[in-house]
Amino acid sequence: MADVMNVGVFTSGGDAPGMNAAIRAVVRTALARGISVTGIRRGYTGLIAGDFINLDVTSVSNIIQLGGTILKTSRSEAFRKADGRAEAARKLADAGVDALIGIGGDGTFRGLMDLTNEHRVPVVGIPGTIDNDIPGTDDTIGFDTAVNTALESIDKIRDTADSHDRIFFIEVMGRYCGAIALEVGLAGGAEEIAIPEVAFDIDSACRILAEGRKRGKTSFIVVVAEGAYEGGATAFAAAVRERTGYDYRVSIVGHVQRGGSPTSFDRTIASRMGCAAVDAVASGASAQMIGIVCDEMALVPLADVCSQKKEVDLELLRVARIITG
């Protein structure tokens, strides 16, 4: 096994707060080991275009607290094609990049797998996505911050819902995954939570609202993951009104969940994962993802990560439904 002299790092897919902390950890750990670092801008798009920069020790100064990603990100169609990946492998070889660290979600990891299978580029993945939908790790970078951002909005909406005796349907991110909705639904005291993983029963939502009203409840928060219902919270609320006639408001939290300064938790896991990713490539590991399971670092084969699905914790839904007043 040849020594790794230069490692490439990039972010890809939806940005997530804490990605910068991970980049910083990768750069600083690599430099401490005498490995130089190539930053690849705009994810796989920049990889194909050869949009590379040298990252030195000061290039990552004062970024640990910043949301977004200094390397920028993208979702690349061209990289899904074999000739796009061949071009990317050529660009890496020309730049002398010996191994690649990709920070992102499932799409990013599938790209890493293709690159290593087809072109033998050593690759390691770091899970960075607000969705927390990656198997092999308890948490992904950005989830905790996104949850806290959404929760802040829900708390504020509850004030106005209570003042006006209103029903609010609040849409949070998660096209395929209800993890954010479950967590903020429970922590925000929502009366009901709709997620893509559980077939949704409009009648049961209407019943919950009607029974609450009978008990004298005047305001309600229903948290809806964007993928829980065709048309999101807006369509969901309209369907409830059709059956009940209840007046309501819809609030879509949206991309605000993807930005902002990362929480202490996200900065910490990002730093630990970035450091572990460099340790992994330096020791010759490839096709692995860095996870944290029960607070222990883990190396998880990317093939397993890409072929499995992370289940959401339905216990949160059960508890939320019991304790709603």
Which chain residues interact with ligand F6P by CB under 6 A? 14, 105, 129-131, 173-175, 226, 258
- Which parts of the chain are beta strand (E)? 6-11, 36-40, 52-55, 99-104, 123-127, 167-172, 192-194, 220-225, 248-252, 288-293, 296-301
Q: CA 244, CA 222: separation in Å to the nearest integer?
A: 15
Q: How far is the CB of 231 from ligand F6P (least distance, A)?
A: 14
In angstroms, the CA 81 to CA 85 distance is 7
Which of residues 14 and 67 has its CB atom nearest to ligand F6P in the complex? 14
Nearer to ligand F6P, 144 or 226 (CB): 226
**Nearest distance, CB of residue 23 and ligand F6P, angstroms:** 18
- Least separation, in Å, of the C-beta of 305 and ligand F6P? 15
Nearer to ligand F6P, 37 or 173 (CB): 173
Residue with tokens 């929480």: 263
- Which of 114, 131, 133, 139 is labelled catalytic? 131
Q: Kindly tell me the number of DSSP H helices and DSSP E strands found in the chain.
A: 11, 11
Q: What are the distances in angstroms from CA 112 to CA 3, 66, 255?
A: 20, 26, 26
Pick between residue 48 and residue 141 the one whose CB is nearest to ligand F6P: 141
In the chain, the amino acid numbered 39 is G
CB of 64 to ligand F6P, least distance (A): 22
The nearer residue to ligand F6P, 122 or 232, going by C-beta atoms, is 232
Give the integer Cα–Cα distance in Å for 170 and 157: 9
Known active-site residue 131 = yes
Residue 84 to residue 77: CA distance in whole angstroms: 9
Nearest of 53, 32, 44, 36 to residue 81 by alpha carbon: 44
Closest approach of ligand F6P to the CB of residue 78, in Å: 16
The single residue listed with the structure tokens 């492998």 is: 89
Q: Active-site residue numbers?
A: 131
